Amino acid sequence: MSSGQDFPPIGPGERPRSNFCSFCGKSSDEVGTLIQGIDRTFICRECSDLCQSVFRRQQKKRFGNRIAWQVPTPRQITARLNEYVVGQTLAKKVLSVAVHNHYKRQLFSENIGGVQLDKSNILLLGPTGSGKTLLAQTLAKIIDVPFAIGDATTLTEAGYVGEDVENLLLKLISAADYDIEIAERGIIYIDEIDKIGKRNQNVSITRDVSGEGVQQALLKMIEGTVANVPAHGGRKHPEQQYLQIDTSRILFICGGTFVGLEEIIRHRIGRTHIGFAAAETAPGPRDDVCLPRVTPDDLSRFGMIPELIGRLPVIAVLDQLEEETLVRILREPRNALVKQYKRLFQMEDAHIEFTEEALRTLARQALDRKTGARGLRSITEKLLLDAMYQLPDQVRGCRYVITKEMVEEKEPIRPLPYSTAAHRIA
C-alpha cells in the first residue's frame, strides 16, 4: 500500500489523521512509531524486522552454502594463500589441510558411522612479522566466513580487571551481524597466546590471573561448549541478558612468537657436556632448525598447560623471513607495499618506481630491526614522508625513482621528468 496522498488541512476540533505503513497498511495508532521516507512513505517496526530477517536469510545463504557445498580443497586453499602470503610453504600446507578437514567435518556430520570427528584447532609458532595474522585473515577470506581477532594479553581470569574470554566470541558474533548460526561457522584468531604462559614451573600460592588463569578459562571454549556471551560485552553479572553460542564448530587459531622456546628445544636435542671439555662444546642448532622439532613437552616447559596444548593438536611453524623473501613481499602479493604506494601516487597523477637495489636495501634494514615484514611499512613510510608531504603541490605527471642512495639517506628524493633516463626498475 502506498501512502503518497496529501491530506487536507485539519479543521478546528478535529483529531490529527494517522499515518499508515506503506508496506502493511497499518496505522500509527495500531503499530506505534512510523519511520518516514521520501514522498510521505512510512515503515513500521514489524515490517522493518521482517526486512531484516530477509537480509539475514540472504546472508546465511551466502555463508552457509559456501561452507556446506563448496569447501575448497587443500591445493585450492594453498593457491589462494600464495596470492597474499610469500613463502611459508610448509605452514600453508598444514593450515590448508586443517581448515579443509574442519569444514568437511561440518559438511558431512561430526559423527560418521559411529566415529566421532574431533575439531582440530591450530597453533601458529613463528617470529614477529612472519605472517601469522595475515595467514589467519586470508583463510577466513578464502572460506568466506566471519573472522575475529583477539589479543590474549588483554584477557584475565573471571572477576579481575580486564576482558573475559567470552568477549572473543562477542567480536565474532558482531562480525556475523549478530547471526548466531553464521557466527558458529567462523574463525577466531587469538594472538600473543605465548604471553599467557605460566610465569614459572613452581606451584605458587598467588593466583596467576593473566597467565594460567586465562588458559584454564579458554579450555572449554576452544574444545566446544555452549557459552553465555554478554550482549554488550564487559563483565558478566546475574541480571543481564546473554547470547548463547555453540563453540564446537568455531575454528580457533592461536599464534605467538614464543621467545625462548628455541633454548628449551636446543637443550633437549643438544648434547650436554660437563667437566673440562664443556667449554669446547659446539654451538647448538640454529633457531630455524629448532622450532620445527617442537613437542608438546617443550610447550609445557615454556608455560602452556597440558590441557590447552591438547586442544591445539595442529602445530604450524613459520620460518624466519630472509632478504630474498622480504624483497618478494615488497612487490609480489596482491596488496604488496610497492603496489600500494604506486596507487597512492597515481591518485595525485604521479608515478613512483623502486630500483632493485632500493628494495634490497629496504629488506636489509627490516632484517636489522628484527621486525620482519611488519617493519617494511614503517621504514618505507619514513623514507617517503617528505615526498608524500609535497606530492599534492607538485606538478602533475611528475615521476619518482627511488634508488639505494635515497633509501640510505645519502640523496634526497626529488621528482624527475618523464624524459629522464630510467634506472633498472624492479
Instruction: Parse the chain into domains and list their residue ranges.
Output: 72-317, 323-407
CATH architecture of structural domain 72-317? 3-Layer(aba) Sandwich (3.40)
Give pLDDT tens digits along the chain (426 positions). 333 444 444 445 544 457 888 888 888 888 888 888 887 788 888 888 888 877 766 655 554 444 444 778 999 999 999 988 888 889 999 999 999 988 888 776 555 566 777 888 999 998 888 888 899 999 988 888 899 998 888 876 665 656 778 888 999 999 988 888 889 889 999 988 888 877 555 555 455 555 677 888 888 889 888 888 887 766 665 656 788 899 988 999 999 888 888 888 888 887 545 555 544 444 555 556 678 888 889 998 888 888 899 999 999 999 888 889 999 999 888 889 999 999 999 988 889 999 999 999 999 998 888 888 888 999 999 999 998 998 888 888 888 999 999 999 888 888 886 544 444 444
Specify the pLDDT at position 402: 92
Name the one residue in this structure whose C-alpha cell is 584475565: 156
Tell me the C-alpha distance between 39 and 326, whole Å: 58
Task: State the first-to-last Cα distance of the chain, in angstroms, to the nearest integer.
Answer: 63
Bridge pairing between strands 42-43 and 314-317: unpaired
Rounded to two decimals, what is the model's pTM? 0.72
Q: What is the pLDDT, as a whole number, of residue 4?
A: 41
Whole-number Å distance between alpha carbons of 139 and 251: 11
The answer regarding whether domain 323-407 maps to CATH 1.10.8.60 reads yes
- HEC-encoded secondary structure of the chain: CCCCCCCCCCCCCCCCCCCECCCCCCEHHHHCCCEECHHHCEECHHHHHHHHHHHHHHHHHHHHHHHHHCCCCHHHHHHHHHHHCCCCHHHHHHHHHHHHHHHHHHHHCCEECCEECCCCCEEEECCCCCCHHHHHHHHHHHHCCCEEEEEHHHECCCCCCCECCHHHHHHHHHHCCCCHHHHCCCEEEEECHHHHCCCCCCCCCCCCCCCHHHHHHHHHHHHCCEEEEECCCCCCCCCCCEEEEEHHHCEEEEEECCCCHHHHHHHHHCCCCCCHHHHHCCCCCCHHHHHHHCCHHHHHHHCCCHHHHHCCCEEEECCCCCHHHHHHHHHCCCCCHHHHHHHHHHCCCCEEEEEHHHHHHHHHHHHHHCCCCHHHHHHHHHHCHHHHHHHHHCCCCCEEEECHHHHCCCCCCCCECCCCCCCCEC
Determine the pLDDT at residue 60: 55
268 — alpha (psi -120 to 50), left (phi > 0) or beta? alpha
Residues 368, 322 contacting (CB under 8 angstroms): no
Amino acid at 389: Y
